[in-house]
Amino acid sequence: MAEELIIQEGIGKEEKYQSLIPQIKALVTGEPDMTANLANIASALKYGMGFFWVGFYLVKNDELVLGPFQGPIACTRIQKGKGVCGTTWEKGATMIVPNVDEFPGHIACSSDSKSEIVLPAFKNGEVALILDVDSDQLNDFDSVDELYLERLMRIIEGLI
């Protein structure tokens, strides 16, 4: 079944999220396949919000393993506590990094990435996956992104 996102042009970031999040929820409701859902969510965020890179890392054994994503090729495996994604996994909390070059131990999967927001999703009280969103602009993420992407993570938690 073909799906289409409806994102009005010329509206602000908050209004885009307010339009996009319910559409994503409708898109994944009733679909039991996690890979399909994560792939569609990554695409919806990339094209709905105009992000540079959007993807998921899944906790498998003792590392994060690249899952569905949209954008340039990415790091395949990340250790706990390494880089922004590994630190988010370790801390179990959202991280906003205004300038990735100033983040100690940043893993440069793409030199075009300038800022980042990374969010965890939990299953049974443990981090199960990470949403990583990159921008090719400095200081591109704020409390609006955090608010709406955390709402999205609650939707994702209902799927895992």
Q: Write out the residue range of the structural domain in which residue 115 sits.
A: 13-157
| 7 domain-assigned | no
Higher pLDDT, 123 or 3: 123
Q: Share the mean pLDDT of the chain.
A: 92
**Residue 69 within any structural domain of the chain:** yes
Question: CA neighbours within 13 Å on the CB side: how many for 69?
Answer: 22
Q: Domain of 74: which CATH number? A: 3.30.450.40
For the stretch 12-54, pLDDT in tens is 999 999 999 999 999 999 999 999 999 999 999 999 999 999 9
- Above pLDDT 70, what percent of the chain? 94
Which pTM was predicted? 0.92
- Residue 107's pLDDT band, with cuts at 50, 70 and 90, is low
| DSSP string computed for 100-132 | GGGSTT---S-TT--EEEEEEEEETTEEEEEEE
3-state secondary structure at position 56? strand
What is the rounded average pLDDT of the residues 109-118? 84
Question: Average pLDDT of 50-73?
Answer: 96
The end-to-end CA distance of the chain, in Å, is 22
Q: Token pair of 91, please?
A: 């801390």
Q: What's residue 1's pLDDT?
A: 42
Total domain count, the chain = 1
Helix H segments across 9-142?
13-28, 34-49, 83-91
